Every structure is written in C-alpha cells, then in structure tokens.
Chain A
C-alpha cells in the first residue's frame, strides 16, 4: 500500500532562518506531488506541484521554493523565513495522470511557527 511521510511534524524557527521540510511517498511510482499551506483561520492553498523529477510549478509567488530531487521525494525550502510563513504545511500525492483530477492523499502535515 502507498504511504506518505512528512517531517518534521513541528518546527519553531526564528525570522530570517532557513527552512527545509521533507516529504516522501512509498509504494507508488511517478506520483504527482503537491505542497499546500494552511494558515490559521485560512483555507488550504496550493503552493507547488510537481509531475516529475526536477519539474516544479509554483501557484503562489512567495519566498518559498520546492524541489524534487528523486521520484518520490518533495522538499519545501526557504532561505529566510518571514513571520507570515507560519502555518500548517501539507504534502500530498496522486497517481499519474492529469494534474488536477483524481483524489489527493495527504500526509500528516508539518506545523511551522516563525518567531
């Protein structure tokens, strides 16, 4: 069966520090991968998606970036965190096919607090 893992589960970082959140998927090949953010009291918004190694599409301009160094690994990064980067970050995957069809399978999330 397929599983998705995110880490770290929680993170407290000072403003201006770097960020790296990792996500891996097991039990499937060539998944479409997604990073979402959920700010307090806000909806769940897509940040990045990837249809393959090295292929990243950004939906919302900001100081975050994403990379996909391996087929089942997706990384969310920042060089300098802002207070507004605080939130709940969710990684998700879906099977090969069109980017926006088919159900998404989400990880358990990483809660980031920037102080």
Chain B
C-alpha cells in the first residue's frame, strides 16, 4: 500500500495561495493520487485527483512531480472557509493524519 507523508500543520494568509505538499514515494505506477479535505466533525470532501499530468478544477490545482514521488495541492486564493484538514491518499484505503491548514485573516 502506498503510504503518504504530509506536514501536520500549515498556516496561510487569506487571499494568498496555499501550497500543501505530499510525499508518496511508494505509490505504484497506475495508482492515482487523490486529495480530500475535512472540515471539523464532517465527512471528507473530494477535491481533485491525478495520475501523471497536472490537474486543475474549480477548487484547486494539483502538481505531480515527474517521478510521481510527490505532489502539491494548490489553493490559489485561500479563504477562511478553506481552513480544514487536507489529506492526500493513493489507494484511498488509508488517509493518514493529513495537514491541518489554518487560513489567517
């Protein structure tokens, strides 16, 4: 199973870009990288996923390194409502403890 490593916490100023890193060096070649976020006491919400190429949707952008050992989730203009725990996962069987992002006014 692919294990992921994320920093436990990060701060970001409101309106600035939030860049959340994830290391997934053991991910297999055909395994997607998924990102979710969880606001306190709610179920996780899907954000974005990718395999090799960078991806963008209305919520975020995902940058995956060429060797696929790491990725970065980018929230281009963080708002207070983006304060949450962000998880990256490979096979989605285990989500780890994620990164607690605090957006500061």
The chain A residues found within 8 Å of chain B, CB to CB, are 36, 41-46, 59, 88, 90, 92, 100-101, 103-109, 111
Contact = CB atoms under 8 A, between A and B. Distances in A.
B49 interface: yes
B86 interface: no
A108 B42 contact: yes
A91 to B, nearest CB: 8
Nearest to A10: B41
Contact of A108 (B43, B87, B98): B43
B97 A104 contact: no
Interface in B69-104: 87, 91-98
B53 interface: no
A41 to B, nearest CB: 7
Most buried by A among B44, B49, B91, B96: B44
A42 B97 contact: yes
14 contacts: A43-B95, A44-B87, A44-B95, A46-B93, A46-B94, A59-B93, A90-B44, A101-B32, A103-B46, A104-B36, A104-B92, A106-B45, A108-B42, A109-B43
